[in-house]
Amino acid sequence: MAELLRTEGLRKYYGVVSAAADINLSFQEGVLTSIIGPNGAGKTTFIHLLTGHVRPDRGRILFQGEDITRLPTHARVQKGISRSFQVGDIFPRLSVGGKPADSSGGPIGDRDEFPEAHGGRP
């Protein structure tokens, strides 16, 4: 398998606090990888570094062999690097018992009861 993404000595400080310290990782094409750890471990900072939302203080990020460390976010998106944000209130009025969509894209709840699930506003 080919190497898709690699970090070398990646560091990020916020003042005197180290949010990412010497991260050296390699991600292979076609391999699903998870980043796990306790709160405050630097997971979000690491993702921000990879996607260009935050600039590293030191180190390099290589994507398919190209140094993208200083590329802006929009240029990384054009290469296929992006992230999603955890949003827990997409359907704030939808209860657990509401009719959630199935994988085929079926309806979520009732159009009148949950218009936001069908492209409308509450």
Residue 114 has pLDDT above 70, yes or no: no
> Distances from the Cα of 91 to the Cαs of 30, 40, 74, in angstroms?
33, 28, 28
- The pLDDT value recorded for residue 104 is 47
pLDDT in tens, 41-94: 999 999 999 999 999 999 999 999 999 999 999 999 999 998 887 776 666 776
CA angle 47, 51, 52 (to 5 degrees): 115
- The pLDDT value recorded for residue 83 is 85
Residue 103: which pLDDT band, with cuts at 50, 70 and 90? very low
pTM of the model: 0.70
- The pLDDT value recorded for residue 88 is 67
- The pLDDT value recorded for residue 86 is 73
* Mean pLDDT for all residues in the chain: 82
- The pLDDT value recorded for residue 115 is 54
Fold (topology level) of 3-78: Rossmann fold (3.40.50)
Q: Which residue has the tokens 């080919």?
A: 2
2 in the Ramachandran plot: left (φ > 0), alpha (ψ -120 to 50) or beta?
Answer: beta
In the chain, list all ranges with CATH 3.40.50.300.
3-78
- The pLDDT value recorded for residue 1 is 79
